[in-house]
Chains A and B, each alone.
Chain A
Amino acid sequence: MEADAAKLIGAGLAAIALAGAGVGIGHIFGNYLAGALRNPAAAQSQFPNLLLGFALAEATGLFGLVVALIILFVF
């Protein structure tokens, strides 16, 4: 196999990490919504935690994207 083709396949595989970020973000927002509907009074106080969890979950997926970009542009 050519090295270029292997590079592209590797970058594509590394981008699969974003699936985990999708699952994580969906989980966070789904659970927040479920909690907020059960106890709307407490929802507002937990909004910063929601944003923090969203950003943390998104970042783990983006680490995979960084690996993909490193494979594509650095090697």
Chain B
Amino acid sequence: MAATAEQSGSGLAIDPMHQFQVQAIVPINIGGIDLSFTNASLWMVIGLGVIALVLLSGPSRLVPGRLQSVGELAYEFISGMMRDILGNSGRAYFPFVFTLFMFVLAANMLGMVPYSFTVTSHIIVTFALAATVFVGATVIGFIKNGPGYLRLFVPSGVPILLLPLLVVIEVISYFTRPISLSVRLFANMMAGHTMLKVFAGFVVGMGVLGGWAPLAMMVALTGLEILVAFLQAYVFAVLTCIYLNDALNMHH
């Protein structure tokens, strides 16, 4: 941590925002568009590599080995969650939700490795994922229900006088879905990593004698952050399923 210490304008010995900088590793520039292979791209590729290692670890055996157990655990976890929320209608969307969950989980967990880069701490990455979910769920809703999908914005059993107000609120809440979905993941990741870096600054700043207290705190916070990393991937998958549920099963 001390290696990255530098004097920043805000008076902290360690700049907690330095870890989020995107740096080009292989600069590529095609027609004025910056397509560089950056450290963000590198960690996405590493994330895919880790997922492939877990899911494609050799021939699958009847009695699973360690890596195969992890893969089966993840599969069971997501398919059980989708069965609970979507029922049988959601089976076709399992590959998408499972891919989304595994990618976010791998990105979050790799971010906990010291000196690594957290892909999901950038709003553009999480917003791209959330926008895909939002556009996809909306298109599926219109394909399955036709124009009747618009009834989603008209809550049933409300007084006719309140209806204009409620429809406006429902429309706004529908269109803030991708924003809240992406900002939730991004803010959790960025806040957590900034907090860890600030506490790491305390450990360095308080020296050999006083640094033990924040160091113990760091251990606890790292545990919490690993929990949050898993939880946010899970919540991202659950909310994707809930949005898909609105599109697939409109009549309850």
Contact = CB atoms under 8 A, between A and B. Distances in A.
A66 B187 contact: yes
Interface of B: prevailing SS: helix
Nearest to B230: A51
Interface in A54-73: 54-56, 58-59, 62-63, 65-66, 69, 72-73
Interface residues of A, number: 15
Interface of A: 48, 51-52, 54-56, 58-59, 62-63, 65-66, 69, 72-73
Contact of A59 (B17, B188, B238): B188
Given A54-B231, A55-B232, A59-B180, A48 B187 contact: no
Contacts, number: 39
Interface string B173-215: 0000000100110111011000000000000000000000000
A55 B231 CA distance: 7
Contacts of B187: 59, 62-63, 65-66
Contacts of A52: 235, 238
30 contacts: A48-B81, A48-B84, A48-B238, A51-B234, A51-B235, A52-B235, A54-B231, A55-B184, A55-B188, A55-B231, A55-B232, A56-B184, A58-B188, A59-B180, A59-B183, A59-B187, A59-B188, A62-B183, A62-B184, A62-B187, A62-B188, A63-B183, A63-B187, A65-B191, A66-B183, A66-B186, A66-B187, A69-B190, A72-B10, A73-B17
Interface of A: prevailing SS: helix
A72 B10 CA distance: 10
Interface of B: 10, 17, 81, 84, 180, 183-184, 186-188, 190-191, 231-232, 234-235, 238
A62 B235 contact: no
B14 to A, nearest CB: 16
A62 B10 CA distance: 21
Q: Which of B81, B186, B187, B188: most chain A Cβ within 10 A?
A: B187
A13 B129 CA distance: 31
Q: Which of A52, A55, A56: most chain B Cβ within 10 A?
A: A55
A65 B180 CA distance: 14
A59 B184 CA distance: 5
B191 A56 contact: no
Q: Which of A52, A54, A62, A66: most chain B Cβ within 10 A?
A: A62
A54 B81 CA distance: 17
Given A51-B235, A59-B183, A72-B10, 19 more contacts: A48-B84, A48-B238, A51-B231, A52-B238, A54-B231, A55-B184, A55-B188, A55-B231, A55-B232, A55-B234, A58-B188, A59-B180, A59-B187, A59-B188, A62-B187, A62-B188, A63-B187, A65-B187, A73-B17
